[in-house]
Structure 1
Amino acid sequence: MEVLDQTYSAKKEGRQLLVITHLLQLLTYVTGFGGLIAPLVKWATKKDEIQGMDLHGKQIINFQITLIIMALVSIPMILLLGLGILMLIFLCFIGFVMPMVNAIKASNGEDPSAFCTIQFIK
């Protein structure tokens, strides 16, 4: 019985760290760059220890890099009838909602969503 409790406890702790890793992306709204750095450090240090961290970490890094590239593309698009402003609003919304959606999926033991993400790291 003790072995089962330790296994369950390890899985629960792993899921909690996955949720925290997803929510660390929201540091972008506080620091401007923490949404990429903090999850990258957490993924690099825990990817071999926690089941699912490698998949979730890769998805987080891919999502953050995609957001950065799309934001850089949208800046010159501001001159084209304001399309860049709409794109920046969309990116802010997606950058705020998707980490929470993926955190809920991680707490349920599901794979993360790859909505609007370019796969740089596979």
Structure 2
Amino acid sequence: MEVLNHTQKRTDNPLLVITHLSQLLTYFTGFGGLVVPLILWLTQKDKVEDMDAHGKQIINFQISLILYMIIGIPAILLLGVGILILIFACIIGFVMPIVNAIKASNGEAPSYFATFRIIK
């Protein structure tokens, strides 16, 4: 009699790539960049290998971007520093998901620049 082990995780690099690229929904919907990766992470972290690590990095990155926006908007009154913070957040918010999607397709670990580690 064969015993099946249902706790074995599958390797699914395309799903990891989709999870990283789904962050770009923020530029179209305003909030989808946090909601969609969060749903994918919560539903697939026990089923897909490395999804837990990638999901935590993505959620930490999205929370960091939100914090940069919260800090940047009032900082506009301080000699335009806020505008620089907002430009920085927009650029890394667009570039880093693409870079990490490429890393995920190659089976590498994600690394997001300027991210606060809130979820460990």
TM-score by length of 2: 0.90
CA shift at 1:115, angstroms?
A: 1.1
**Do 2:25 and 2:33's aligned partners in 1 also have CA atoms closer than 8 Å?**
yes
Amino acid at match of 2:72: S
Once residues 73 and 40 of structure 2 are traced to their aligned partners in structure 1, the CA distance between those partners, rounded to angstroms, is 30
Q: Over aligned residues, Cα RMSD in angstroms?
A: 0.7
Identity of aligned residues (%): 67
Q: What is the match of residue 21 of structure 2?
A: 23
Consecutive unaligned residues of structure 1, counting only runs of 5 or more, are 1-9
2:118 counterpart SS class = coil
More helix by share: 1
CA shift at 1:114, angstroms?
A: 2.8
Alignment of 1:109 with 2:111, yes or no, is no
How many residue pairs get aligned? The number is 111
Consecutive unaligned residues of structure 2, counting only runs of 5 or more, are 1-9
Once residues 102 and 116 of structure 2 are traced to their aligned partners in structure 1, the CA distance between those partners, rounded to angstroms, is 21
2:114 counterpart SS class = coil
Q: Which runs of 4+ in 1 moved over 3 A?
A: none
TM-score by length of 1: 0.89
Q: What is the match of residue 65 of structure 1?
A: 63
Amino acid at match of 1:51: E
Once residues 58 and 86 of structure 1 are traced to their aligned partners in structure 2, the CA distance between those partners, rounded to angstroms, is 27
